[in-house]
Structure 1
Amino acid sequence: MSQSTELNLASSVFKANPYPAFARLRAYDPIHQLTSFGQQRTWLITRYAEAELVLRDERFVKDRQHVFSSARLPHVASSPPSFTDLMDMSIVDFDPPDHTRLRSLVNPFFTPRQMERWRNRAQEVVDELIDSVETKRSMDLIEDFAAILPLRIILEILGVPAEDGPMLHEWTRVVADSLGDPVASQQIGGVLQDFYAYLLALIEDKRKMSDGTLISRLIHAEAEDNQISAREVVTMTFLLITAGHDTADNLIGNGMLALLTHPEQLALLKANPGLLKSAVEELLRYRSPFMLATMRWASEDVELGGVLIQRGDSVLVSPASANRDGEVFAEPDTLNIARLENAHIAFGKGIHYCLGAPLARLEGQVAISTLLRRLPNLRLQVEPEALEWRPGSLIQGLRHLPVVF
């Protein structure tokens, strides 16, 4: 029987190398009970088989209101809209039929075919960013490159002014880095309020002057077809801005760190550009952009890996751990950019599979291939052990990645 123990998933120190701890959990305690608060039990799923099942199984729901009575959710009624809507009412917090309805509105914009239309634009941004630092012979690969590329692209897709990018990037970082930290989570109210007010004003401007971008299309779906509510337009925009650039940011940063610390794999990719797609998939597996998937709740009693998950228990799946499961991946702790069988779950599974996965893949491919081509002598400026990982239990990414070339 799994025992409740302390495991600080939000700690930047833990995130620097969580893999030994995850390996022990997979071997001895794959359905691990995290420290409970009150009557709420939370289970951490670290083994691939159970992780994939939870991500696909409709008995594990995203909307707490399908599990608890309103009396069990007092904070929802008392919280301001800026917190309730942005943190609890996005598409990732809904189950069918609402999830199906909302996803159908944005899916057409993020198909692999649609995303290919942005490849040239992504290449332009990448070249511009490298041009701006090339003569300096050094850069922070996160702040000067990996964080900027996906943010520019998603803002253009949505129709958000580019000059607002730095502010939106900072707000996104503050919110993401607070997840899983009770103290930090209590201190983000002001940021969420500012973010919420900004989105309301932005959407109001789009109502007055439609420009054919994604936000305008969502507003049209609200006004003409009644397929989405005004509140849902706000929360959808919030999700697309935040997840739309933090995912690829971490993919590029984590991926380049992995290559720079595995020179034989770096040399292999330079010599064989045709391995680019498999390399990106392996980088996603090896150091996943997300350490945890978003929370799910058991809508009924479910036996999982010999452990009874009771109705109302919350469940956290760790893609970072599942993607190192030796039962699924040969030599799971070895970076192998030529790996052929790579059924990683870095982007999730099932109906909540990451909407922006095709875009993140494209941005990762363009960014990494261009960095290797244009900056052939790229190398770390500090020892890997000196790098600091961002806090927060959800994402897995670096604060900074100083490089020279």
Structure 2
Amino acid sequence: MTPPDPIPLLGEDYKRDPYPLYDTMREAGPVHRVLFPSGVVAWLVTGYDAALAALTDPRLGKNHARGNERWRERASIMPEPQHSRLQVHLLHQDPPDHTRMRRLIVDAFAPRRIEELRPRLQELADELVDRMPASGDLDLVACFAAGFPFQALATVIGLPPSLAAGFRREWGKVVQPVGPEDPGRPAYEALLRGLQGYIADVVAHFRAHPSDGLLGRLVDACDGGGLSDAELDSMIFQLLVAGQEPVTNQITTALVALFRRPERWEALRNDPGLLPRAVEELLRHDAAFELTTWRFFAEDADLHGTAVPAGDSVIVSLCAANRDPARFDDPDGLDLTRAPNPHLAFGHGVHFCPGAALARAELQIALGTLLARLPGLRLAVPDDALEWIPAVLARGVARLPVARD
């Protein structure tokens, strides 16, 4: 059978509000052929039950070696040597390698440890607010949402201030690759080289200065034969990029949702005890991880009644699943007391985000601090003037201009 024409997932209108399109797709069925800006054609899973099944389907693997030539032509475009050294992290591994590598990091992000660190994380948030100008409009991304998650992450993984000061936020854009013919390709490759050089500096530091923090333990594991050099570089890459930029984006999507509903902002300000449930609802309502990374069938397979060729990419829309009316009452609403709230913002199954406890704590602290210290915040620009980031898999705004009373 001739496959259907792919549905384009691109353009400013789509990035600003993808939910009407997701509603249409989900109502038509759980699996759809879609087109990404890079030219990749993939299969998108949209319904909650279908997403849950795909996230736990043992037939679907994450290793890039499973991708077919059609996929590689457009998606596997990070150049060498960076592709080999930075793309073998947890998100691109299957058991048993995934199990071996994940075991090395879970203790650092365990809920009990994050709770022990919460007072320090609160200090970091307060210090950022203390440094804000006393009056005038602010860009909350530049003065808070970008800095707080990175400082929190550095605390958790044991990145010393001397190294943290040298990290450039723009390195996070390497997860938005551009094709070989794109005029922005030289700048993209320069970012990759800069990031790889920074990672080499991190590894060299911990070889010269052993530490019992997470980064020090990863270097020790590599030196002891528990990780390859490429796996070590990739895991540091994943920690530094996937470990903080999504929280920055999630802070922005949460704030935009609350600014659109001032009565919800006021309710949280009056009752901070609502924050834990409110954070779960804000994660469900507009997740920063809009789509999962690639999954592949090793053989031609049936996916909820759709024939998917081996090596084609399968992607789960976490945002579409989290707005499924078959699972959530009033799915487009924002119910800060919703319970239970089995959203999929952190994924599910063996690839459930290992940093979920940290992200939850960061979001609670970030929102709680802004509500307490800057209660009169509101958007300083029209809603339609917000610039949504063009990242394929993520949601968030590049700047968040706010006024304050």
Most deviating of 250-259 and 267-276: 267-276
Find the residue that maps to 2:205 and give its secondary structure: helix
Q: Is residue 293–residue 316 contact of structure 1 (8 Å, CA) maintained in 2?
A: yes
User: For residue 192 of structure 1, what is the aligned residue in structure 2?
Assistant: 192
Q: Is residue 13–residue 389 contact of structure 1 (8 Å, CA) maintained in 2?
A: no
Deviations 1:215-257 (A, max 9, x none): 1111112223x21122211111110010111121111111111
Would the alpha carbon gap of residues 40 and 387 (structure 1) be closer, same or farther in structure 2, given more than 3 Å must change? closer
User: For residue 304 of structure 1, what is the aligned residue in structure 2?
Assistant: 303
Counterpart-to-counterpart distance in 2, 1:51 and 1:272: 34
User: For residue 318 of structure 1, what is the aligned residue in structure 2?
Assistant: 317
Would the alpha carbon gap of residues 14 and 179 (structure 1) be closer, same or farther in structure 2, given more than 3 Å must change? farther
Counterpart-to-counterpart distance in 1, 2:88 and 2:343: 28
* Residue 95 of structure 2 corresponds to residue 101 of structure 1: no
User: For residue 3 of structure 1, what is the aligned residue in structure 2?
Assistant: 4
Kindly provide the amino acid, as one letter, of the partner of residue 82 in structure 2: S
Kindly provide the amino acid, as one letter, of the partner of residue 8 in structure 1: L
Q: Is residue 293–residue 319 contact of structure 1 (8 Å, CA) maintained in 2?
A: yes
Would the alpha carbon gap of residues 372 and 305 (structure 1) be closer, same or farther in structure 2, given more than 3 Å must change? same
Deviations 1:1-57 (A, max 9, x none): 972234134x444211111111001011431112499x9852011111111111111
* Residue 220 of structure 2 corresponds to residue 220 of structure 1: yes
CA shift for structure 1 position 68: 5.7
Would the alpha carbon gap of residues 310 and 368 (structure 1) be closer, same or farther in structure 2, given more than 3 Å must change? same
User: For residue 149 of structure 2, what is the aligned residue in structure 1?
Assistant: 150
* Aligned pairs (5 A) from 1:367-378: 367-378=366-377
CA shift for structure 1 position 339: 0.6
CA shift for structure 1 position 76: 7.6
* Residue 268 of structure 2 corresponds to residue 269 of structure 1: yes
CA shift for structure 1 position 176: 3.4
User: For residue 395 of structure 1, what is the aligned residue in structure 2?
Assistant: 394
Kindly provide the amino acid, as one letter, of the partner of residue 141 in structure 1: L
Q: Is residue 83–residue 193 contact of structure 1 (8 Å, CA) maintained in 2?
A: no
Counterpart-to-counterpart distance in 2, 1:321 and 1:182: 32
Counterpart-to-counterpart distance in 2, 1:382 and 1:143: 16
User: For residue 14 of structure 1, what is the aligned residue in structure 2?
Assistant: 14
Q: Is residue 76–residue 84 contact of structure 1 (8 Å, CA) maintained in 2?
A: no
Kindly provide the amino acid, as one letter, of the partner of residue 49 in structure 1: D
Q: Is residue 9–residue 35 contact of structure 2 (8 Å, CA) maintained in 1?
A: no
Listed as ranges, the gaps of 5+ residues in structure 2 are none
Q: Is residue 301–residue 307 contact of structure 2 (8 Å, CA) maintained in 1?
A: yes
Counterpart-to-counterpart distance in 2, 1:259 and 1:286: 11
Kindly provide the amino acid, as one letter, of the partner of residue 44 in structure 2: L
Counterpart-to-counterpart distance in 2, 1:229 and 1:36: 33
User: For residue 328 of structure 1, what is the aligned residue in structure 2?
Assistant: 327
* Aligned pairs (5 A) from 1:2-401: 3-9=4-10, 11-35=11-35, 42-66=42-66, 79-86=79-86, 88-133=87-132, 135-162=134-161, 165=164, 168-178=167-177, 183=182, 186-187=185-186, 188-224=188-224, 226-401=225-400
CA shift for structure 1 position 182: 8.3
Deviations 1:134-184 (A, max 9, x none): 513431111110110010121233333436557634333422344799848
Counterpart-to-counterpart distance in 2, 1:66 and 1:20: 32
Would the alpha carbon gap of residues 342 and 29 (structure 1) be closer, same or farther in structure 2, given more than 3 Å must change? same
Counterpart-to-counterpart distance in 1, 2:159 and 2:44: 37
Deviations 1:370-391 (A, max 9, x none): 1111111111111111100001
Counterpart-to-counterpart distance in 2, 1:275 and 1:320: 23
Deviations 1:67-121 (A, max 9, x none): 669xx899989942223321x2111100000000000000111111111122111
Most deviating of 195-204 and 299-308: 299-308
Find the residue that maps to 2:402 and give its secondary structure: strand
Would the alpha carbon gap of residues 40 and 145 (structure 1) be closer, same or farther in structure 2, given more than 3 Å must change? closer
Counterpart-to-counterpart distance in 2, 1:367 and 1:96: 35
Would the alpha carbon gap of residues 73 and 257 (structure 1) be closer, same or farther in structure 2, given more than 3 Å must change? closer
Would the alpha carbon gap of residues 257 and 230 (structure 1) be closer, same or farther in structure 2, given more than 3 Å must change? same
Q: Is residue 268–residue 274 contact of structure 2 (8 Å, CA) maintained in 1?
A: yes
Would the alpha carbon gap of residues 68 and 221 (structure 1) be closer, same or farther in structure 2, given more than 3 Å must change? same
Counterpart-to-counterpart distance in 2, 1:199 and 1:54: 33
What's the Cα RMSD here? 2.7
Kindly provide the amino acid, as one letter, of the partner of residue 190 in structure 1: A
Would the alpha carbon gap of residues 317 and 401 (structure 1) be closer, same or farther in structure 2, given more than 3 Å must change? same
Listed as ranges, the gaps of 5+ residues in structure 1 are none
Kindly provide the amino acid, as one letter, of the partner of residue 368 in structure 2: S
Would the alpha carbon gap of residues 222 and 177 (structure 1) be closer, same or farther in structure 2, given more than 3 Å must change? closer
Most deviating of 254-263 and 161-170: 161-170
Q: Is residue 292–residue 318 contact of structure 1 (8 Å, CA) maintained in 2?
A: yes
Q: Is residue 171–residue 195 contact of structure 2 (8 Å, CA) maintained in 1?
A: no
Q: Is residue 176–residue 395 contact of structure 1 (8 Å, CA) maintained in 2?
A: no
Counterpart-to-counterpart distance in 1, 2:385 and 2:277: 29
Would the alpha carbon gap of residues 348 and 185 (structure 1) be closer, same or farther in structure 2, given more than 3 Å must change? farther
Kindly provide the amino acid, as one letter, of the partner of residue 248 in structure 1: V
Kindly provide the amino acid, as one letter, of the partner of residue 369 in structure 1: G
Most deviating of 265-274 and 158-167: 158-167
Richer in helix (by share):
1
TM-score (norm 1): 0.91
CA shift for structure 1 position 214: 1.4
Would the alpha carbon gap of residues 171 and 98 (structure 1) be closer, same or farther in structure 2, given more than 3 Å must change? same
Would the alpha carbon gap of residues 12 and 143 (structure 1) be closer, same or farther in structure 2, given more than 3 Å must change? farther
Runs of 4+ with >6 A deviation: 72-78, 179-182
Find the residue that maps to 2:103 and give its secondary structure: helix
